[in-house]
């Protein structure tokens, strides 16, 4: 049987306009901006404390509206990836 | 000439003799040292100034074999979001993996603990990222940590090797790889080394792993000590090279560092191989720190060798390289790597030529082969994309299929080299097909790109399937990576030129692919016939080629010597100073990074790990008294004037100058007797009248007591309290009140000298014993007590002793 996705309360979001703009958008939708993702410019790591940490479904709520915000170029709820040591 | 004599190098590390894959002590068939690591060491390459990090479940940074080479700047805890990658400890030692991998790379040599790392002077870091939920963000963060500082990232993990998974980096991790190779190492490109996978027993194929399949990773496979295929080995066309690792139960495994400061001789799998290659690359980077991420792959292709590795599919491609789906180009050869790296000139820029098939759906019929072709010119009409000499070849496919595991895909190059892009996978029942999945092959490396490329897809149902549901190839794209010029004999990129110092390899010729694109004789002729324009750095005497190292004299400075080859430069690099009169870059004294002359006292800045002592313009390992080592400025900076010694900051004092005394980590003026330095008021204030010297105004803050006062516990008192006696103590000349024996209310001195007991105790023989009588202490009983000397035992003294003593 295919393995089912596990959704987390973490998001990756691409926003131009710098850290301040990212902070504003995070706060608007109830997220906390944990900062830029590594060396990827305009990509930020968002966390939503009111979304369950691990879930079999991508839960919907006001936080989901971030995907529709015109200032957000791309957003993706993070899914747990199965990784094995070799 | 480096001796390949095991006795020539010896380490006192207890597991050194078990490191069969580095040296051999037995002269028989079990003697395996074809990775030639010892020879690379004998040439002096040990990984100095190279930074390697292990992406895994953490590394035990205080392990005795790792602590000395541990580099905090190359480490991070992505799971815990801090800078400490120490693994989480549990009863099953689940998180031992990263520590094991780290030891292989950079365990300290000759410290009598465990083993010797392949790059035992390299710096080693750990990125803890596997001990928690792994997401695309976690991977992207981990792959992008300090790309300008970390040279090599080693990863021994990946998607499930269960023979049914098709998975790879998400969009963020893909970008992190791209950013790493474009910007990492100040533009030379981060080096990502990956374990090819352990799914051999499940019939897995490493082309279904997007990490090992990526052109940005160096995918490494394993071979047993006898050159056999290990049970866990996965085959695929993206594997570049191989190292030794474990095999069957009777084959030897790998010794390395283990969790809880231990050593193990049981490290196994392809996890072993990625750090081994990371260590070998570290040696090569020490030999030539300027090689790019693609140079490293070229070096591995050129120097890895089939030796005794057994496989039925070894073939020679049209560029003369021997290559296999099991082992890539073969066993890595550390010695050949450093020799080649030392004289390596960067290959020309990477070009990409892409061609998409027409959008006609092609049906894949069961039990039949479906062939489709793309004819490529190698984008010869587009200079920026023109690929003539191949490196990686990628095939992107959009396939719809009812059972993915029944598919086998091959690619045949214009020269006839067949790469198996996918083999059948017994356990893969997925009906998802391949949605723009990219397969990669390195088997055409060095071949010419132009011509007809054939994609061959077979569908062999392993289970009963509806014949009406057929697979479809909806689209495929051929992506050719490589160079427009011959990478080794291109305009200005002369490898192994006669003016370079050749160090003979140890009884083994470096691979010389046939047919050789340009023979040495042709090269000579090419040099003699050179009539083009000289490099802008060349002086008035002209040149014998187009590059700065072809100049006969220089307008600014000449760098190098006759042995290593000379080149003209506008400014001298770090480690050299500009001798304007001789127009030469001359080497600074060892340890100096910038200098004004050759002498040890002419340094302006120092190499990493050393500090500039500006007063004497020298580079020192530790700063003299009165100075501290500033890690950021890499200089010895002066401690605060009140400090005699300080630590990390000018005002974090550990000892004070004369006239000052230490208050915490601050040196404050010493005050006269009877006063102390009040930090808030910044003046000397009086002590309590009972103190002669003190740390504060309170009566419990005395250091020494005033005259006529005695020290009792933490206070100074005019006379000893009940239960204390007056006396001097060893080392202290002032009088002190010391506590009487237990239960004594007053005493004459130490020991059994009580004169008065507290309530509930009676004085018996100058000892206080509990006030209780013993009603059955007759003569016989007391004799027994006396003969057994029970009253000498504290436990019994409280019972009948008093009665017996009173009875005589």
Are the Cβ atoms of B136 and A40 closer than 8 angstroms? no
Window from A60-64, B43-47, B275-279 with minimum mean pLDDT: A60-64
Are the Cβ atoms of B160 and A80 closer than 8 angstroms? no
How far is A41 from chain B, CA to nearest CA, in Å? 10
Instruction: Assess whether pLDDT exceeds 80 at residue B193.
Output: yes
- Greater confidence (B98 vs B7) lies with B98
Instruction: Assess whether pLDDT exceeds 80 at residue B228.
Output: yes
On whether any CB of chain A is under 8 Å from the CB of B141, the answer is: yes
The 10s digit of each residue's pLDDT in B325-339 is 999 999 999 999 999
Instruction: Assess whether pLDDT exceeds 50 at residue B505.
Output: no
Instruction: Assess whether pLDDT exceeds 90 at residue A11.
Output: yes
Window 47-66 of A: residues touching B by CB (8 A cutoff) are 54
Do the Cβ atoms of B290 and B342 come closer than 8 Å?
Answer: no
pLDDT confidence of B522, banded at 50, 70, 90? very low
Instruction: Assess whether pLDDT exceeds 90 at residue B573.
Output: no
How far is A8 from chain B, CA to nearest CA, in Å? 9
**What Cα–Cα distance (Å) separates residue B372 from each residue in B420, B471, B795, B798?**
15, 14, 97, 103
Q: Is B342 helix (H, G, I), strand (E, B) or coil?
A: helix
* B56 is a catalytic site residue: yes
pLDDT given for residue B508 in this prediction: 36
**Structure tokens of A61?**
């709520």
pLDDT confidence of B768, banded at 50, 70, 90? confident
The CA distance from B449 to B277, in Å, is 29
Paired with B399 in beta bridges are B434, B473
Instruction: Write the CB contacts of B484 (distance below 8 Å, at least 6 apart in sequence).
Output: B348, B351, B383, B386, B387, B388, B389
Query: Residue range B231-255: average pLDDT?
Result: 95
**Looking at beta carbons, which residues of chain A come within 8 Å of B176?**
38-40
The CA distance from B198 to B232, in Å, is 5
Paired with B477 in beta bridges are B356, B396
pLDDT given for residue B24 in this prediction: 73
- Greater confidence (B4 vs B609) lies with B609
- Nearest by CB to residue A38, choosing from B133, B140, B271, is B140
**Structure tokens of B47?**
């990984």
pLDDT given for residue B25 in this prediction: 62
> Does the N-terminal peptide bond of residue B515 adopt cis geometry, omega within 30 degrees of 0?
yes
- What's chain B's average pLDDT? 88
SS (H, E, C) B490-541: ECCEECCCCCCCCCCCCCCCCCCCCCCCCCHHHHHHHHHCCCCCCCCCECCC
Please tell me which residue of chain A has the smallest CA distance to B196.
Answer: A86
Instruction: Assess whether pLDDT exceeds 50 at residue B376.
Output: yes
As a whole-number percent, the residues of chain B with pLDDT over 90 amount to 61
Are the Cβ atoms of A84 and B157 closer than 8 angstroms? yes
Instruction: Assess whether pLDDT exceeds 90 at residue B323.
Output: yes
The 10s digit of each residue's pLDDT in B621-654 is 889 999 999 888 889 999 998 899 988 888 888 8
Angle between helices B273-287 and B97-106 (to 10 degrees): 30
On whether any CB of chain B is under 8 Å from the CB of A42, the answer is: no
For B713: left if phi > 0, alpha if psi spans -120 to 50, otherwise beta; the answer is: left
As a whole-number percent, the residues of chain B with pLDDT over 70 amount to 89
Query: Residue range B531-538: average pLDDT?
Result: 81
Give the closest residue to A12 by CA, choosing from A60, A62, A48, A61: A48
Catalytic residue chosen out of the listed positions B23, B97, B113, B351: B97
Instruction: Assess whether pLDDT exceeds 80 at residue B7.
Output: no
Interface mutation target, options B150, B172, B272, chain A, most CBs of A under 10 Å: B172
Catalytic residue chosen out of the listed positions B156, B190, B238, B271: B271
Instruction: Assess whether pLDDT exceeds 80 at residue B498.
Output: no
The 10s digit of each residue's pLDDT in B292-318 is 999 999 999 999 999 999 999 999 999
Instruction: Assess whether pLDDT exceeds 70 at residue B3.
Output: no
**What Cα–Cα distance (Å) separates residue B224 from each residue in B21, B196, B243, B440, B798?**
10, 15, 9, 25, 74
The CA distance from B12 to B15, in Å, is 9
How far is B655 from chain A, CA to nearest CA, in Å? 42
pLDDT given for residue B703 in this prediction: 82
Q: Is A11 helix (H, G, I), strand (E, B) or coil?
A: strand
pLDDT given for residue B515 in this prediction: 34
The 10s digit of each residue's pLDDT in B388-444 is 999 999 999 999 999 999 999 999 999 999 999 999 999 999 999 999 999 999 999
pLDDT given for residue A3 in this prediction: 63
DSSP 8-state code for residue B285: H
Catalytic residue chosen out of the listed positions B13, B33, B39, B56: B56
- Greater confidence (B769 vs B50) lies with B50
pLDDT given for residue B482 in this prediction: 98
């Amino acid at each position: 049987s295919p393995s089912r996705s596990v959704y987390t309360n973490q998001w990756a979001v691409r926003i131009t306009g710098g850290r301040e703009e990212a902070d504003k958008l995070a706060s608007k939708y109830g997220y906390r901006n944990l900062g830029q993702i590594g060396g990827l410019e305009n990509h930020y790591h968002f966390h939503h404390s009111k979304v369950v940490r691990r879930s079999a479904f991508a839960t919907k709520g006001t936080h989901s509206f971030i995907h529709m915000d015109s200032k957000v170029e791309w957003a993706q709820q993070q899914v747990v990836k199965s990784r094995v040591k070799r | 000439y480096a001796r390949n004599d095991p006795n020539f190098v010896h380490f006192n590390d207890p597991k050194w003799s078990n490191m069969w894959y580095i040296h051999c002590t037995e002269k028989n068939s079990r003697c395996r040292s074809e990775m030639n690591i010892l020879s690379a060491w004998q040439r002096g390459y040990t990984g100095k100034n190279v930074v390697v990090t292990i992406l895994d479940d953490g590394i035990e940074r205080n392990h005795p074999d790792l602590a000395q080479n541990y580099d905090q700047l190359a480490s991070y805890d992505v799971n815990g979001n801090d800078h400490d990658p120490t693994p989480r400890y549990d009863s099953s030692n689940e998180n031992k993996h990263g520590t094991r991998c780290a030891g292989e790379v950079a365990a300290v040599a000759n410290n009598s603990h465990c083993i010797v790392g392949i790059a035992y002077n390299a710096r080693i870091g750990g990125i803890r990222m596997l001990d928690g939920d792994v997401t695309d963000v976690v991977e992207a963060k981990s792959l992008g940590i300090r790309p300008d500082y970390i040279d090599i990232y080693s990863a021994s993990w990946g998607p499930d090797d269960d023979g049914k998974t098709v998975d790879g980096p998400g969009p963020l991790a893909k970008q992190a790889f791209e950013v790493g190779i474009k910007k990492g190492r100040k533009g030379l490109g981060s080096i990502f080394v990956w374990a090819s996978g352990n799914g051999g027993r499940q019939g897995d194929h490493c082309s279904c792993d997007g990490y090992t399949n990526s052109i940005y990773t160096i995918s490494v496979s394993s071979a047993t000590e006898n050159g056999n295929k290990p049970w866990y080995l996965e085959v695929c066309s993206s594997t570049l090279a191989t190292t030794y690792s474990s095999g069957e139960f009777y084959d030897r495994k790998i010794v390395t560092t283990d969790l809880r400061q231990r050593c193990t001789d049981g490290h196994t799998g392809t996890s072993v191989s990625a750090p081994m290659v990371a260590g070998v690359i570290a040696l090569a980077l020490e030999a030539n720190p300027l090689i790019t991420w693609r140079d490293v792959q070229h070096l591995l292709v050129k120097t890895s060798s089939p030796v005794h590795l057994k496989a039925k599919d070894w073939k020679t491609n049209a560029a003369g390289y021997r290559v296999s789906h099991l082992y890539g180009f073969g066993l890595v050869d550390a010695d050949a790597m450093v020799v080649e790296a030392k004289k390596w000139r960067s290959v020309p820029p990477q070009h990409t030529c892409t061609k998409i098939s027409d959008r006609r759906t092609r049906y894949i019929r069961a039990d039949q082969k479906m062939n489709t072709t793309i004819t490529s010119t190698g984008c010869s009409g587009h200079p920026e994309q023109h690929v003539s000499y191949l490196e990686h070849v990628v095939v992107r496919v959009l396939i719809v299929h009812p059972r993915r595991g029944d598919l086998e895909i091959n690619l045949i190059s214009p020269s006839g080299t067949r790469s198996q892009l996918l083999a059948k996978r017994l356990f893969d029942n997925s009906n998802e097909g391949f949605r723009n999945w990219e397969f990669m092959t390195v088997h055409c490396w060095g071949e010419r790109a132009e011509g007809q490329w054939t994609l061959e897809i077979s569908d062999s149902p392993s289970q009963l399937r509806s014949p009406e549901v057929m697979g479809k190839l909806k689209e495929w794209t051929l992506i050719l990576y490589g160079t427009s010029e011959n990478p080794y004999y291109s305009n200005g990129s002369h490898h192994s030129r006669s003016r370079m110092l050749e160090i003979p390899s140890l009884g083994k010729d470096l691979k010389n692919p046939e047919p050789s694109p340009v023979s040495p004789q042709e090269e000579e002729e090419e040099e003699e016939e050179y009539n083009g324009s000289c490099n802008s750095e060349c002086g008035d005497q002209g040149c014998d080629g187009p590059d700065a190292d072809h100049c006969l004299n220089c307008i600014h400075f000449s760098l190098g010597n006759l042995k290593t080859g000379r080149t003209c430069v506008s400014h001298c690099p770090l480690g050299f100073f500009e001798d304007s009169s001789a127009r030469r870059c001359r080497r600074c004294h060892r340890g100096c990074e910038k200098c004004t002359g050759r002498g040890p006292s002419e340094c302006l800045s120092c190499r990493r790990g050393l500090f500039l002592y500006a007063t004497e313009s020298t580079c020192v390992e530790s700063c003299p008294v009165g100075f501290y080592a500033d890690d950021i400025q890499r200089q010895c900076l002066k401690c605060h004037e009140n400090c005699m010694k300080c630590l990390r900051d000018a005002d974090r004092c550990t000892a004070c100058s004369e006239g000052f005394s230490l208050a915490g980590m601050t040196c404050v003026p010493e005050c006269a007797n009877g006063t102390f330095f009040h930090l808030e008021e910044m003046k000397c204030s009086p002590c309590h009248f009972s103190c002669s010297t003190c740390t504060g105004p309170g009566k419990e803050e005395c250091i020494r007591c005033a005259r006529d006062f005695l020290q009792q516990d933490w206070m100074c008192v005019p006379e000893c309290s009940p239960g204390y006696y007056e006396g001097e103590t060893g080392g202290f000349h002032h009088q002190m009140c010391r506590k009487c024996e237990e239960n004594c209310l007053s005493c004459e001195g130490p020991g059994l000298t009580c004169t008065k007991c507290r309530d509930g105790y009676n004085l018996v023989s100058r000892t206080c014993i509990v006030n209780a009588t013993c009603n059955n202490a007759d003569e016989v009983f007391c004799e027994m007590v006396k003969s057994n000397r029970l009253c000498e035992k504290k436990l019994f003294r409280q019972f009948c002793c008093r009665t017996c003593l009173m009875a005589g």
